[in-house]
Chains A and B, each alone.
Chain A
Amino acid sequence: MSLTPTIYIVTVVSKFRWRLKHCGEGDGKMVRWLKIVVFASLVTLAWGQGNSEPSDPRDKELQQLRERVAALERLVQLLKEELSSLKLNGAAPQSQTQLVALQQQTEEEKRKLEEELKRELQGVTQPPAPRPAPPSAVYGGGLWQALNPDTSVIANFRTGFRGKRPFASFAGSEFSEAELAFQAATDPFSRLDTFIAVAPEGAEVEEATLTILDPTFIGLPRNLQIRLGKLLAPFGQLNSIHPPEQPFVDSPLVHRLWFGHAHGNHKHGNHNHRKRNHQDEEEHKDEHEDEHEEHINGAAIPSEGLFTGAGLSLNWLVPTGRHLTWLTIAPLNVDNATFQTNSGRPAWLARIRHFRELSPTQTLNLGLNYAFGRNDLNKDTRLFGIDLTYRWRPLREGLYRSLVWQTEAYWGQRDTGDGTVKPKGWFTMVEYQLSRTLFLGARYDFAQSPDKSFSGRGFSLAITLFPSEFGRYRLQWNRLKIGGQTVHEVWLQTTFSIGIHRPHPL
């Protein structure tokens, strides 16, 4: 189109420039060339919309792009006009998807008509066709996909800065993990949930649970739910949530100290790590002192603590009027800083959970927890816990406002052979929703280590942004005082999930 003359003129001008260098002054040829130059530059100016240096290749490109955009704009306008004239005749489809739907409607109509005619031809009147099958497009990925488990990946990237004073001499530390979740009904009577945490240190099965959904199938009462496998221990409310979905970057101190692994400084791949630690002990006996120091100042205690165990859980639902009560008993094999049950005797856990409806917008959840098992000294340890969760979400503004206030307190009784150590720990945290996408969280927590050798307390503030349900950015500030040392931490966390992730139960 209009591009061709411009290119031609540009070529002429550059040719002339080359010539100018090779010509003597006052040459007759020169006058002729000058005429061409004047003409060409006038034309170029007119075409190039005041572009003073049309020979620059970048400007040339820009010019070409402008022309193309203008052409496309005209095309879009043309198409728009055509489309709107079409819409005036038709039933006003609004988008590609609606056109598809409309097409399906006509298909449906055709099919109906065909059936109608068939019936008339046979001379038999039948009742209207029952339940036509839904269009297969509804299932998106096709029918075969419907049999695949709900699969999701949660990628969790964290960057932390730690120092003795706020915003000064911070040491950086990075951490990232991915959580893979596979969840599906195995048959009409049971379902399988698998959560695998993958970190640079290795992969760990966080949860792999078979839930028997219909116990009547094996002759048990209907309100009884049986779970088998590696489970999240029924101890407290926060422990029912996988770390990437918890409201803070790190777990509360009591979870980190009590339910993190006893020896490793990271919960993942703890066996390898423990081996390495033993080697370190032998090889660098001098450095061990420093390591121990670090262990207490907060940098080396695991940033996450999740109480998990392998075994069985029986959960009985007691509906009581408008409210609900659950009773859970679980014998579990546990390996963490509080319990070590490799000896073959499981830890026994019991939990009573009462879920109350205060009003259509407010609920209260109260839990009483008990655990009994063996510790690393192969002596008895008992845990007692109480948890309280208050939730508020208004009906109309539910998309924009909500509040969750969660408090848990634990007491331990650890037999050491020559006495009983009684550590304590608790946390309280509140998360308030400021807008559709913005959440503000605050947490205060305190914990003594299981052997009561040191204690820590912390205050945390977190701002979380949810641009959509599948992405999340979080900035968190911690002021920790562990073993007498004050540490400031700043965490930046980005979490993204892909795939179908089942919403959290209650």
Chain B
Amino acid sequence: MTAASLIIDRVTRSFTTGRVTARVLGGVSLAIAPGEMTLIVGPSGSGKSTLLAVASGLLRPDGGSVRALDADLWSLPAEAIDRFRLEHCGFVFQGFNLFPALTAVDQVVLPLQYTGLVGAAAYARAMEALVAVGLADKAHLHPLALSGGEKQRVAVARAIAKGPQLLFADEPTSALDKENGAKVARLLHTIARRDGATVLCVSHDPRLIDHADRVVRIEDGVLTADERNPSAVPAPPLAMAPPRPEISP
């Protein structure tokens, strides 16, 4: 095994609504390796999204720690955590969360600009990402003119354009039909396999299991199973992307 790139260590988190305090994460520990797609499954309300948010620097845990790419994430000041996510993290969510006013390529360029990449360079990078998700010919379209599956692929392009080492996806396929869901799942898997990214995906969608290298089960905020998936569907090459020399078979 490779050294884990994301180490979640005894993380706890509770939510208080009114006078009721509910413990959502009850001391979760998990080490996640790069180059593969790890899927966290569990029933609704089991704490999957909460765990993903804690692991990705979006939600501060009550206890425990998260070690991401050798940084003790939650010991950093808030701006540094923002900076960390800007430099290393990509996100895909169930809702596609695209700005209605921007074309597909502009959706991808926008966050790139904040990394300091602007103008033609940002544009070229965004186009590469759109090519990778197979949407080069739709680059100029607004979300209104895209199907649900295409919107999610734009969202994936937005997440991967900066070449993140950590890619987080929360129910990325739940709003999609079977075929589009499979397409997005294959994309995420490919990014892990070919780019060596750490892909952490949470979902209750069983169709995703086929694409994951490792499946972790969470129930009521504690891990109950952790299995490798030897029958994972092999990751196909990215659309229109010539294989990188060092990883060609």
The answer to whether A and B interact is no
- Enumerate chain B interface residues (CB-CB to A < 8 A): none
